[in-house]
Amino acid sequence: MIDRAKLFAALRKRESGVFGTSLTKGQVEGIERILDEAGDMEVEKLAYILATAYHETGRTMQPVREAFAKSDEQAIARLENAWKKGKLKWVKTPYWRPDADGKAWFGRGYVQITHKANYQRLSPIAGVDLVADPDMALDPRIAAKILVCGMAGGLFTGKSLADYLPGDYVGARKIVNGTDRAKTIAGYARSFEKALRASYTPEPLVLVERAEKEPSAAPEPAPRPVTTSPKGIEAIIKAIIDLIVKIITSMKGKRK
């Protein structure tokens, strides 16, 4: 069980390597939101989720638009400018350009999902129709659900947390984005892991008193078999014979 006060205290230490000596309100709220969504997930997996959010959101721990734009229009303009300058060589089709409905499918969230098909595919996870309103991916609660469920379920690239963790923070980058900044994010994950481990407290032990067993009643002794000595048998036989003789004598007397 994570003691959140201890976690934030650990993250505020300079040696934590991520936030320095302070966290903003937004950073705290973002971390808590992710912790709420992740539940009792294994430490290394949770550490990597937090590290990914830390990197993808520019350390804010809040959902962002791609290119860290403040508006849809700014995101479109920044991506278009970068593409024209040849900085997005991997992009074949400018996915940020508004479609016939005026909607733009650039990245949004803790892990920026792009392209209309991905917004549609992740709508059931989000619990809302992201195609109808793509900006819903910026809602902190929805973004946290997409982040955690997407990484745990391999919904972004087909690779999931279980494919790499525990054990391979560098390879785990393939869950989201190939090998881009893989070693850097692995370093963040180790820092988060250290803070998480320092904040875990064991579950309280519940002592169950054993009820003293009441002494069970002693079983009743089995009846002892009745035995008769030879002399006793002779006496019984004689008594029976005497009884028979009396009966016969009595019957003769009645006939006279």
Cβ-count burial 91-100 (b if 16+ within 10 Å, e if not): eeeebbeeee
pLDDT at 177 over 70: yes
pTM of the entire predicted model: 0.77
Least confident range of 6-20, 96-110, 166-180, 236-250: 236-250
Which pLDDT score, from 0 to 100, does residue 15 have?
79
User: Tens digits of per-residue pLDDT, 134-147?
Assistant: 999 999 999 999 99
Rg of the chain, C-alpha, whole Å: 41
Percent of the chain exceeding pLDDT 70 equals 79
Report whether 25 contacts 8 (CB < 8 A).
no
Count of residues in the chain: 256
List the domains of the chain with CATH numbers: 4-199 (1.10.530.10)
Would you say residue 132 has pLDDT above 50?
yes
pLDDT of 211 above 50: no
pLDDT reported for residue 210: 47
Apex 243 CA angle, 239 and 245, nearest 5: 115
| Helix orientation angle between 43-56 and 25-38, rounded to the nearest 10 degrees | 140
CA dihedral 139, 141, 143, 145 (to 10 degrees): -150
In 10 A of CB 113, how many CB atoms? Answer: 26
In this structure, are residues 193 and 43 in contact, taking their beta carbons and an 8 Å threshold?
A: yes
Nearest residue to 109 (alpha-carbon basis) of 176, 169, 165 = 176
Residue range 230-254, pLDDT digits in tens: 555 666 666 667 666 666 666 655 5
SS3 category, 160: coil
Q: Using CA atoms, how far apart are residues 248 and 229, in angstroms rounded to an integer?
A: 29
- Residue 200, pLDDT score: 83
> CB of 137 within 8 A of CB of 143?
yes
Token digits for 144? Answer: 């946290």
pLDDT(3) > 50: yes
pLDDT of residue 11: 94
Under the banding of pLDDT at 50, 70 and 90, the label for residue 212 is: very low
Residue 70 DSSP class = S
Distance CA 97, CA 120 (A): 17
Between 20 and 72, the more confident residue is 72
pLDDT number for residue 1:
84
